[in-house]
A and B are shown apart, each in its own frame.
Chain A
Amino acid sequence: EDQVTQSPEALRLQEGESSSLNCSYTVSGLRGLFWYRQDPGKGPEFLFTLYSAGEEKEKERLKATLTKKESFLHITAPKPEDSATYLCAVQGRGGSNYKLTFGKGTLLTVNP
């Protein structure tokens, strides 16, 4: 069974203080790893898909990287509007072809 563990559960940063969120995964053959952002009272919003170890993707202050066992979401010089829950999900090759397995998320708070 695919498993995703995200850490830390919660992270509080000052505006401009860079940091990283971790997503460790166990999957029977990784098809893809997804990062989503979820604001309170809203559905998850797609950020990135990573397909293979060594891949990196960037969007504004966010950069996602992937190894064979984990992914990192690096946040550079965060702003208060980056405050949200960040969800990691994997799609493996076993079982349902389309099923995403999500972690519990990291709640990021950026103080001005």
Chain B
Amino acid sequence: EAGVAQSPRYKIIEKRQSVAFWCNPISGHATLYWYQQILGQGPKLLIQFQNNGVVDDSQLPKDRFSAERLKGVDSTLKIQPAKLEDSAVYLCASSLGQKVLETQYFGPGTRLLVL
């Protein structure tokens, strides 16, 4: 079974530029999550989708971050404009979406460096 796919794996941009990350979840998984992991920290949830609807985006900095999952499958996370403090690993995870308590499976992440 294929895992969660993410691209690109690495990205280096200047501050105030924009950047987008892509995620394709495990086939059949209805719930998709985006996490931010700053060096030395645990992952922090940014946004959670159930199919193509947003379940929780309370920790998403909405003035600069946006995310969509238009067809209920793959998803895009965008940052515009980027700040130095956005340097982090952006992890995508997915779960079946059938029960409240489910295992979340993570992709390899996109490593973003903002200069």
Contacts and interface: CB of A to CB of B under 8 A. Distances in A.
Interface of A: 4, 31-32, 34, 36, 41-46, 49, 51, 87, 89, 91, 95-100, 102-105
A86 B5 CA distance: 22
Contact of A103 (B42, B93, B111): B42
B44 A43 contact: no
Name, among A49, A51, A89, A97, the residue most crowded by chain B CB atoms within 10 Å (CB to CB). Answer: A97
Contacts of B106: 36, 43-45
B4 interface: yes
Contacts of B100: 31, 97-98
A43 B107 contact: yes
Given A43-B108, A44-B106, A45-B106, A96 B43 contact: no
B103 A46 contact: yes
Contact of A31 (B43, B93, B101, B105): B101
B56 interface: yes
Contact of B56 (A89, A98, A104): A98
B43 A102 contact: yes
Contacts of A102: 42-44
Contacts of B56: 95-96, 98-99
